[in-house]
Amino acid sequence: MSMVFSSDLIEAIRNARSCLVLTGAGVSAESGLQTFRGMEGLWDDFDPMKLATPEAFACEPKKVWEWYQWRREKLPLVQPNPGHRAIAQMEKYFQNFLLVTQNIDGLHQRAGSTKMVELHGNLNRNKCSRCGIMIETLPVSDEVPPRCQCGGRIRPDVVWFGEMLPEAVLRQAWRAAESADLFFSVGTSSVVQPAASLGLVARNNGAFLIEVNLEKTELSGLFDQVFLGKGGQIMPLILEEIIKAKAGS
């Protein structure tokens, strides 16, 4: 596939010291994981927006737990794709680099990303919904979901709608957006807050914004350059351009 890199994009890449990459479920689509809204109707015609809430867990803990188990069981069967791997390589070419992912699938870590934060938690971790302790090994129990020693129900360590994001993680992402010279948004519908505001923060602080998505999003107008297509194909080409621009600078 051919991609046109505008001269101001190449210039922005060459001069950039700080780079922030925001990713969403679309970056894991080519690994075979459904996107967040793509799961609609996939599982017992549940709506992810309704299931990923504390209310749903309070009313129907078994249903919510099993939905996460169904998603969790897929993780060992899928691999990071070229998009994850290109993003992991990008770390080396900027003095300051941060990957901010909304995804909970752990594929960025498996692709080698180290300078990263997870805004919405991680599907491989569990915690107690009452006392909050992390649960390393699930107790064997015929109750679903199993319970913590304190009696509280165990839940996935992910951020549900209506829940605060981890304070320190959000602050780190916000600060990175404030000081970014280059901001990539890859595979997110830019609907969920506060993640979707990071691009605005970066723009207000003078960053050059690039969006990579299968289709236009609500925020496409905010971006200096929009690449429409698959992240697994486009990100390796962007990495090539970064390597060239940095070699020349």
Q: Which stretch binds ligand BV8 (CB under 6 A): 3-11, 132-140, 154-162, 236-244?
A: 154-162
Q: Which stretch binds ligand BV8 (CB under 6 A): 127-135, 141-149, 189-197, 200-208?
A: 189-197
Question: In the complex with Zn ion, which residue's Cβ is closer, 3 or 150?
Answer: 150
Contacts of Zn ion in 122-141 (CB under 5 A): 128, 130-131
Q: How far is the CB of 99 from ligand BV8 (least distance, A)?
A: 14
Phi/psi for 175 (5° steps) reads -65, -40
If binding is defined by CB under 6 A, does position 25 make contact with ligand BV8? yes
- The contacts of residue 184 (CB under 8 Å, 6+ apart) are 19, 20, 21, 22, 210, 211, 212, 238
Size of the site for Zn ion (CB under 5 A): 6
Q: How far is the CB of 149 from ligand BV8 (least distance, A)?
A: 25
Among the listed residues 85, 120, 153, 230, the single catalytic one is: 120
If binding is defined by CB under 6 A, does position 100 make contact with ligand BV8? no
Question: Given phi > 0 = left and psi -120 to 50 = alpha, else beta, which region is 118?
Answer: beta
Of 218, 215, 241, residue with least CA distance to 230 = 215
What is the C-alpha separation between 145 and 127, in angstroms, rounded?
11
Binds 150, which of ligand BV8, Zn ion, none (CB < 5 to 8 A, cut-off by type)?
Zn ion
What is the C-alpha separation between 50 and 75, in angstroms, rounded?
22
C-beta atoms surrounding 1 within 10 Å: 8
Contacts of ligand BV8 in 108-147 (CB under 6 A): 120
What is the C-alpha separation between 19 and 14, in angstroms, rounded?
11
Query: Which residues are marked as active site?
Result: 120
Q: Which residues bind ligand BV8 (CB under 6 A)?
A: 24-26, 29-30, 35-38, 52, 102-104, 120, 158-165, 187-189, 191-194, 213-215, 217, 230-231
